A = this chain, B = another copy of it.
Amino acid sequence: MNREQDWLAQIAAGLGQVRVRQPIIHHITNYISINDCANATLAIGGSPIMANDQDEVAEVAAQSAALVLNLGTPNTRMLDSLEAAGKQANALGIPVVFDPVGVGFTRVRTRAVAQLLLSVRMTAVRGNLAEISRMAGLDVTSRGIDALAAQNNAADTVKRAAQKLGCIVAATGVSDYISDGRTLIRIDNGDPLMARVTGTGCMTTSLVAACCGAMTEKLAAVTAGVAAMGVAGEIARSLLQPGEGTGSFRVRLLDAVSNLSGEEILKRGKLTVETTND
């Protein structure tokens, strides 16, 4: 078994662990994708709790296996909640997955992210390449919330971002790149229709958190969450009937996650591994 197949086997086993352990995943997230993220978490086998009030977030985080902090629709009260929950999770050693939606697009979001990174240690950050680049202070042009970024520098950008931020970084897009600053993994699964459904990025963050809540090895967990969404996207496309469009694709995406097996990962997973000692 070569290195890539070894990774796929680890991912397949990890997804099985999520379904067995049904980890509680606390989300502090935006109003747009909150329902989709809850259903995605349930689909992969997790148990989602969406609680964002300042007075209860620490208590909820403490009872969870992982915490999602999603910037989506930021405001002052939301930022206080993100910070309170993140600090509690850090204190208890609970993995924190951060989704910096739209960082760089407005001053509010850029400041919020900077402030949050000062008070909360992230286990992993999941965003698109523009968001990752911005967070790590690397230049990028931003168009709306998503950006058409230079893919040829993507692997390098992600590895440097992970080194700079001191955590695992996952940049999802046409290809997905995951790194802990030493190892760089590329996933080539997915489907263009995923960009035409809102919240697929946020849902990927939920899958990443579910895996982090059930798997010990966090780089493998982040990779598992990203791979699960990419493979589900391809299965969803294969299930699409003539005349169907983004409405049906969105439904079949959730179908695919809910039925996702280790076998599908081994069969469909397109994973490439680089490891360096930088």
Contact = CB atoms under 8 A, between A and B. Distances in A.
Q: Which of A33, A105, A144, A196 has the most chain B CB atoms inside 10 A of its CB?
A: A144
Contacts of A163: none
Contact of A39 (B197, B252, B253): B197
Interface string A223-267: 000000000000000010001111110111111111100000000
Nearest to A65: B144
Given A63-B144, A105-B60, A198-B42, A245 B250 contact: no
A198 B46 CA distance: 12
B35 A53 contact: no
Interface stretch (A106-114, A117-125, A268-276): A106-114
A34 interface: yes
A73 B49 contact: no
Question: How many subunits of this chain does the assembly comprise?
Answer: 3
Contacts of A51: 73, 102, 106
Contact of A34 (B31, B60, B108, B255): B31
Contact of A43 (B34, B105, B196, B243): B196
A150 interface: no
A128 B54 CA distance: 25
Nearest to A111: B55
Interface in A200-219: none
Contacts of A74: 53, 56
A179 B252 CA distance: 39
A198 B243 contact: no
Contact of A247 (B38, B47, B253): B253
B144 A56 contact: no
A59 B107 contact: yes
26 contacts: A30-B50, A31-B31, A32-B34, A32-B38, A32-B50, A35-B35, A35-B36, A35-B199, A42-B196, A42-B197, A42-B198, A43-B246, A43-B247, A47-B145, A47-B146, A49-B144, A56-B107, A59-B107, A60-B106, A63-B144, A244-B255, A245-B255, A246-B255, A247-B252, A248-B251, A248-B252
